[in-house]
């Protein structure tokens, strides 16, 4: 049904050297997979926008991870492996139940970089930042989350989302540009970034 | 804000690499080029700082979300109920298992079936009938028979199901068949390239997909749907209190599952009559 657990493993899933491990699978799973629950939940929440769905997906991710734990090589990046399963589950659910308009990806993403918006003012709340993020189309949002929040290297993001590294870079640039635009809108609504006279009125 | 400054060719070049720069994904020499540019260009320096600032604010906002109370326990509980993964530590067992799979695969090929060794037995119920009835028997050149040989109470099922099958896969046969002592209601749709079966089997001896330790592929209108694939066929299934319902085909897995998604509510409604 899927390619995340079978076929040829991406480099970050391949074992560097066999690791001698006397722990039971339960103990290994507890030590290697369970600590990432919190990180996966916050990503699932941002990708679905709904706590119930995020919880369902998280349950599914851990169940699938547990069932194919024999295919995960000890000593490799368990967190990246779990994220790969997470994005597989997210896209599976999304394909089934939603029809999100996918933005056509443009190679010339420079335009997004040419307008310099005001920096994120302290007045902009965390909630508004999350709203701005949630407004970005999913394919850009996923890359921004993985790079900016979860701090994965580009090559790991490419493996997690099964896209070329060039696409990771263009989506990241575009996603960040869109986020900055959204935040600039919020800032403008506060009157930040307009003329200084406005501030003088206060 | 100094927009004009950003239009300069050197600035454009730096801005194109700025995201990779702040992620520390550039080669050392490219990093040096950018640092060199920053020294002469406060505008790009400011832009880099702003982007870092957005990243920091975003990290704080997203990471502030905490795991809902009890979710960790619920995940653990569900894992405990599930079968443990195959362990790779017992080499003898692994060799024995490999041998079993090899023998079973050989046997499966030998008897002109796809690999069944790893497929759940409840799902095999549907696949077996599909193989036995639609694949093996109907590929033989046989005289044309009336297409609908169902008992009268099942007649209405055909148009109800047919509505959800694409037009390029025309209805071929509906009948009641028997395989290994079990009766099946079997509808087939076929064209030159593809073959689709809708198989309905009455449950035997407490058979259940939910109890078979399978993971539903998804849940639609409150109906959990299960999916599996062998080398040649894709199976999707759901269950009713009395019945197991399958779509089996050589279509892509997603397409096969989509067909069952589309049919599940109407087939369920139809079967409810018999359950009452």
CA–CA separation, A170 and A178 (whole Å)? 12
Beta-carbon pairs below 8 A across chains A and B: 139
Tell the residue number behind the tokens 């640092």, with chain if given: B35
> How does residue A78 score in pLDDT terms, banded at 50, 70 and 90?
very high
- pLDDT of B224 reads 81
Most confident of A152-156, B34-38, B65-69, B176-180: A152-156
If you average pLDDT over every residue of chain A, what do you get?
Answer: 77
Do B15 and A115 count as a contact with CB atoms less than 8 A apart?
Answer: no
> How does residue A169 score in pLDDT terms, banded at 50, 70 and 90?
very high
> How does residue B128 score in pLDDT terms, banded at 50, 70 and 90?
confident
- pLDDT of A164 reads 95
Q: Is A122 on the interface with B (CB under 8 A)?
A: no
Among B20-24, B28-32, B133-137, B186-190, which stretch is predicted with the lowest mean pLDDT?
B133-137
Mean pLDDT of B151-165: 87
Instruction: Report the residue of A27, A112, A120, A134 to disrupt the B interface, i.e. the one with the largest count of B CBs within 10 Å.
Output: A120
- pLDDT of B245 reads 94
Closest-CA residue of A relative to B256 is A1
Residue that wins the pLDDT comparison between A92 and A126: A126
A:9-28 residues touching chain B, CB 8 A cutoff: 25-26
Do A62 and B79 count as a contact with CB atoms less than 8 A apart?
Answer: yes
> Is pLDDT above 70 for A121?
no
- pLDDT of A166 reads 94
Do B75 and A68 count as a contact with CB atoms less than 8 A apart?
Answer: no
Cβ contacts of B275 within 8 Å, gap of 6 or more: B240, B241, B242
Q: Which of A67, A119, A144 sits opposite B53 (nearest CB)?
A: A119
- pLDDT of B214 reads 67
Per residue in A19-34, pLDDT (tens digit) is: 566 788 888 899 999 9
A:32-61 residues touching chain B, CB 8 A cutoff: 34, 37-38, 41-42, 45-46, 51, 55, 58-60
HSE (side-chain half, CA atoms, 13 Å) at B68: 15
Do B58 and A29 count as a contact with CB atoms less than 8 A apart?
Answer: no
Do A64 and B74 count as a contact with CB atoms less than 8 A apart?
Answer: no
- pLDDT of B261 reads 87
> How does residue A99 score in pLDDT terms, banded at 50, 70 and 90?
very low
- pLDDT of B4 reads 43
Mean pLDDT of A174-192: 86
Model ipTM value: 0.75
Residue that wins the pLDDT comparison between A140 and B140: A140
Q: Return the closest-CA partner of residue A27 out of B87, B113, B250, B177.
A: B87
- pLDDT of B2 reads 40
Closest-CA residue of B relative to A60 is B215
> Is pLDDT above 60 for B192?
yes
Per residue in A32-62, pLDDT (tens digit) is: 999 999 999 999 999 988 888 899 999 999 9
Residues of A in contact with B69 (CB under 8 A): none
Among A102-116, B48-62, B67-81, which stretch is predicted with the lowest mean pLDDT?
A102-116
- pLDDT of B57 reads 93
> How does residue A108 score in pLDDT terms, banded at 50, 70 and 90?
very low
Residue that wins the pLDDT comparison between B259 and A107: B259
Per residue in B212-233, pLDDT (tens digit) is: 766 676 766 677 888 887 767 8
* C-beta of residue A172 within 8 angstroms of C-beta of residue B97: no
Residues of B in contact with A26 (CB under 8 A): 84
Q: Is A66 on the interface with B (CB under 8 A)?
A: yes
- pLDDT of B138 reads 57
Pairing assessment for the beta strands B195-202 and B218-220 based on DSSP bridges? unpaired
Closest-CA distance of chain A to residue B153, Å: 33
> How does residue B156 score in pLDDT terms, banded at 50, 70 and 90?
confident
* C-beta of residue A123 within 8 angstroms of C-beta of residue A190: yes
Q: Supply B53's token pair.
A: 């600032």
Domains of chain A: 11-97 (1.10.1740.10), 110-192 (1.10.10.10)
Cβ contacts of A32 within 8 Å, gap of 6 or more: A74, A78
> How does residue B193 score in pLDDT terms, banded at 50, 70 and 90?
confident
Domains of chain B: 3-63 (no CATH), 114-275 (3.30.200.100)
- pLDDT of A115 reads 45
- pLDDT of A5 reads 43
> How does residue A158 score in pLDDT terms, banded at 50, 70 and 90?
very high
HSE (side-chain half, CA atoms, 13 Å) at B234: 20
Please, which contacts does A20-29 make with residues 24 or more away whose CB atoms are closer than 8 Å?
A21/A74, A25/A69, A25/A70, A25/B84, A25/B85, A25/B87, A26/B84, A28/A69, A28/A74, A29/A65, A29/A66, A29/A69, A29/B79
Do B84 and A110 count as a contact with CB atoms less than 8 A apart?
Answer: no
Q: Which of A115, A145, A180 sits opposite B62 (nearest CB)?
A: A145
């Amino acid at each position: 049904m899927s390619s995340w657990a079978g076929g040829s493993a991406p480099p970050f899933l391949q074992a560097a050297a066999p690791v001698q491990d006397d722990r039971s699978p339960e103990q290994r799973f507890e030590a290697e997979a369970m600590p990432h629950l919190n990180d996966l939940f916050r990503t699932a929440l941002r990708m679905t926008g709904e706590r119930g769905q995020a919880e369902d997906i998280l349950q599914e991710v851990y169940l699938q991870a547990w069932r194919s734990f024999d295919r995960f090589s000890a000593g490799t990046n368990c967190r990246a492996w779990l994220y790969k399963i997470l994005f597989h589950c997210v896209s599976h659910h999304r394909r089934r139940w939603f029809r999100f308009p996918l933005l056509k990806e443009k190679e010339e993403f420079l335009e997004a970089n040419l307008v310099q918006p005001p920096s994120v003012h302290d007045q902009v709340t965390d909630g508004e930042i999350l709203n701005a993020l949630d407004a970005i189309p999913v394919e850009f949002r996923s890359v921004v989350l993985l790079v900016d929040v979860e701090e994965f290297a580009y090559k790991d993001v490419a493996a997690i989302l099964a896209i070329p590294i060039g696409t990771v870079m263009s989506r990241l640039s575009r996603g960040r540009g869109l986020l900055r635009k959204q935040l600039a809108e919020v800032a403008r609504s506060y009157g930040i970034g307009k003329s200084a006279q406005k501030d003088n009125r206060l | 804000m100094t927009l004009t400054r950003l239009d300069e060719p050197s600035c454009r070049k730096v801005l194109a690499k700025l995201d990779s720069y702040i992620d520390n994904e550039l080669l050392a020499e490219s990093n040096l080029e950018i640092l060199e540019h920053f020294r002469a260009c406060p505008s790009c320096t400011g832009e880099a700082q702003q982007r870092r600032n957005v990243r920091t604010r975003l990290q704080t906002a997203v990471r502030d979300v905490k795991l809902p109370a009890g979710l960790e326990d619920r995940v653990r509980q569900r894992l405990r109920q599930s079968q443990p993964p195959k362990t790779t530590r017992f080499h003898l067992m692994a060799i024995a298992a490999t041998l079993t799979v090899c023998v079973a695969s050989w046997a499966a090929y030998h008897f002109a079936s796809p690999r069944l060794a790893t497929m759940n037995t409840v799902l095999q119920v549907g696949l077996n009938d599909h193989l036995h009835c639609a694949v093996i028997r109907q590929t033989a050149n046989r005289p044309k028979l009336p297409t609908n040989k169902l008992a009268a109470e099942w007649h209405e099922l055909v148009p109800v199901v047919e509505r959800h099958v694409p037009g390029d896969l025309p209805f071929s046969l509906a009948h009641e068949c028997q395989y290994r002592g079990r009766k099946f209601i079997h509808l087939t749709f076929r064209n030159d390239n593809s073959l689709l079966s809708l198989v309905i089997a009455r449950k035997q001896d407490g058979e259940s997909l939910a109890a078979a330790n399978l993971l539903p592929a998804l849940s639609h209108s409150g109906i959990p749907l299960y999916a599996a694939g062998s080398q040649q066929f894709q199976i999707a299934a759901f269950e009713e209190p009395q019945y197991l319902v399958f779509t089996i085909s050589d279509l892509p897995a997603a397409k096969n599952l989509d067909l069952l998604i589309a049919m599940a509510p109407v087939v369920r409604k139809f079967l409810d009559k018999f359950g009452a």
